[in-house]
Amino acid sequence: MESRVRSVPMSEEEYFQLLGQSVHKYEYWDGYAVSMAGAQPDYVRIETNLVGELFGKLRGEDCLPLVSNQAVRLAGAKGYVFPDVTVVCGKPEYIVRQGIGCLLNPTVVIEVLSPSTAARDEVDKLLAYTAIRTIREYLVVSAERYAVKMYSRRQAEETWSVRLYTELADSVVLESCGCQITLAEIYAGVEAPDRDDLPLG
């Protein structure tokens, strides 16, 4: 479960001091440090499947999948977050704050939804990620049912389209990376309920 660490705004310098001194992971959002709690087994399995599949598919290519310890700097004044999976194509660009490298040019970001993060991932982070000019695709992956929502940037019009995948045989095509991943690969080993009354998150 997420919880705000302080009830008053925290500067970026204070945030990175907290991040460097703590064994826990915190995101920096609108001037507040937000603790990121441990995840349920299915959540961890999905995240592991995503990183493993993408690493294998992108081996030898110009794109690299990164695990959830990679910080990403958001556009504007929102702050810094730790996506569950990040893919960077081309040379990674970083800003280093107190020894912590924050990626500036992610190509794909993926968030696996939990009850405590669903609203933020589907609204606040959607707006923040789509404001990063280098991001081409944003995937929202449910841990409660077989469902993946992909937001894709249309480069010509600078607009976004959205597509929902709900069948295990469906292939999610990441055009920016030149690869695809099936829902069966994403949910391997996960017995998610297949109920129409469950929301994506």
Q: For 67-78, what is each residue's pLDDT tens digit?
A: 999 999 998 767
Q: Is residue 15 part of a domain?
A: no
Please indicate, yes or no, if residue 57 is contained in any of the structural domains: yes
In a domain, 128, yes or no: yes
Question: Does the pLDDT value for residue 26 go beyond 60?
Answer: yes
pLDDT surpassing 90 at residue 89: yes
* pTM more than 0.85: yes
Evaluate whether residue 26 is within a structural domain: no
| Domain annotation covers residue 138 | yes
Between the alpha carbon of residue 164 and those of residues 112, 126, 128, 134, 146, the distances in Å are 15, 15, 20, 22, 10
The answer to whether position 52 is within a domain reads: yes
Q: What's the CATH number where 99 sits?
A: 3.90.1570.10
Determine contact, residues 109/30, Cβ cutoff 8 Å: no
As a whole number, mean pLDDT of residues 39-51 equals: 93
In a domain, 90, yes or no: yes
Number of domains present in the structure of the chain: 1
